[in-house]
Amino acid sequence: MIEPATYNTFKTRLDHLGEGAFQMYKPNARSAIPIEFAGAAYRFGHSMVRTGYKLNADHTPQLIFTPGVGLNSLMGFGNLADNHWIDWKRFFPVNNQFPAKGAPPKQNTNEAEDRLQWGYRIDTSLVDPLKTLPDAIGNGNSLADLNLRRGNIFRLVSGQRIADHLGQTPLAEKYLVVRDSSSGPIGYKPIPQSLRAETPLWYYVLAEAQRELVDVWLAKNGGQPGTKKLEDADLLLGLPNAGGTTSDSRAPVGQLGPVGGMILMEVFFGLLLADGESFMTIGADADHKLNDEWFKFFTKEKTVEISMWRLLEVAGLT
């Protein structure tokens, strides 16, 4: 979820400085979850939600907020329907074997075939069902609107202020954009001028994560905002490799950047350090024993494999 540069920077600081690595979530503040985390950074997952899901071979694909209370509805707030069991092959690749690079996804039809339903890329857009939430959840409001209002209620500082506090260069204005349509090829338009200098933290975290996608769009338009939009090929293989050539192009990645990623890193590592029984605090001998126990479960044919699929196997859910 977090771009390597941000992850490695914090991990290196933690290895060398211990508690001195924390710039925000310091030991004396760990009796509660930071509002910057709860009210903004940790809400990045909203942008990853799909329009709908097919839970298993017998389940008809449904929008996430299907009206009604029928057996196929995903609305929740009631008894779990018998056909709402999860076929995990539809959510994680079997044996951690990912599809061939650049392969287009299969359509989410009602056929019995397994079809991976990836989380959407972290960016500044939400799927249409989150535009008008059901009364039981959001009284018809937009989830984006509720997130922004919550930030105001919490009096969260802007993304730029946290970037400054962390010693990071704030996002360039060219990245403070949103999609100009909810469907079809992707183009962008700038956010209102009044929000560009002091940008709401929730949006800022998402804008950080979509930088590579915006870079592809800008490159397609000659380095400036333009009318050309991103097609499927751009999303699958839109960026040159590290050497700058297009012979081994890759997909633009949506990972949390210096502000969003650092907030998450400080909170999760801070909680582990604050827990006297976590693997980070119980001591070297016990830590070694825990590692042995852990790796025993994840050893398959003498090979250690730590993946979501192996975790599901260990839990008996495959």
| 217 and 295 together in one domain | no
How far does Cα 260 stand from its chain's mean position?
10
| 267 and 295 together in one domain | no
Residue 113 included in any domain: no
Give the per-residue pLDDT at 113: 65
| 151 and 253 together in one domain | yes
Give the per-residue pLDDT at 43: 97
What is the number of structural domains in the chain? Answer: 2
| 164 and 309 together in one domain | no
- Other Cβ atoms less than 10 A from the Cβ of 50: the count is 14
| 299 and 221 together in one domain | no
| 138 and 204 together in one domain | yes
Which residue matches tokens 């202020």? 161
**Domain range for residue 198?**
4-49+119-271
Give the per-residue pLDDT at 160: 98
Residue 276 included in any domain: no
Most confident among 46-60, 141-155, 277-291 (mean pLDDT): 141-155
Q: Does residue 174 surpass a pLDDT of 90?
A: yes
| 262 and 295 together in one domain | no
**DSSP bridge pairs for 2:** 256
Q: Does residue 122 surpass a pLDDT of 90?
A: yes
Two structure tokens written together for 109: 């039809």
Mark 281-309 as b/e (b = at least 16 C-beta within 10 Å).
eeeeeeeeeeeeeeeeeeeeeeeeeeeeb
Give the per-residue pLDDT at 70: 61
Mark 20-41 as b/e (b = at least 16 C-beta within 10 Å).
ebbebbeeeebeeebebbebbb
> Rounded to 5 degrees, what angle do the CA atoms 246, 250, 252 make?
120
Q: Does residue 257 surpass a pLDDT of 60?
A: yes
Percent share of the chain, pLDDT over 90: 55
The pLDDT of 7-35, averaged and rounded, is: 94
* Amino acid, single-letter form, for residue 203: Y
The pLDDT of 162-166, averaged and rounded, is: 97
The rounded distance, in Å, linking the Cα atoms of 271 and 263 is 12
Q: Does residue 182 surpass a pLDDT of 70?
A: no
The pLDDT of 173-192, averaged and rounded, is: 90
Confidence of residue 246 (pLDDT cuts 50, 70, 90): low
Q: Does residue 293 surpass a pLDDT of 90?
A: no
Pair type for strands 52-53 and 299-300: unpaired
Percent share of the chain, pLDDT over 70: 90
**Whole-number average pLDDT of the chain:** 87
Q: Does residue 69 surpass a pLDDT of 60?
A: no
Residue 214 included in any domain: yes
| 307 and 242 together in one domain | no
| 204 and 298 together in one domain | no
The pLDDT of 22-37, averaged and rounded, is: 94
Lowest average pLDDT, out of 134-138, 241-245, 278-282, goes to 241-245
Q: Does residue 280 surpass a pLDDT of 70?
A: yes
In a 3-state reduction of DSSP, which class is residue 256? strand
Lowest average pLDDT, out of 70-79, 209-218, 230-239, 270-279, goes to 70-79
| 215 and 295 together in one domain | no
| 212 and 295 together in one domain | no
Residue 200 included in any domain: yes
The rounded distance, in Å, linking the Cα atoms of 71 and 48 is 25
Residue 108 included in any domain: no
- 124, burial (CB in 10 Å: exposed 0-12, middle 13-18, buried 19+): buried
Two structure tokens written together for 246: 């297009």
| 188 and 42 together in one domain | yes
Residue 17 included in any domain: yes
Handedness of CA 215, 219, 224, 227 (dihedral sign): negative
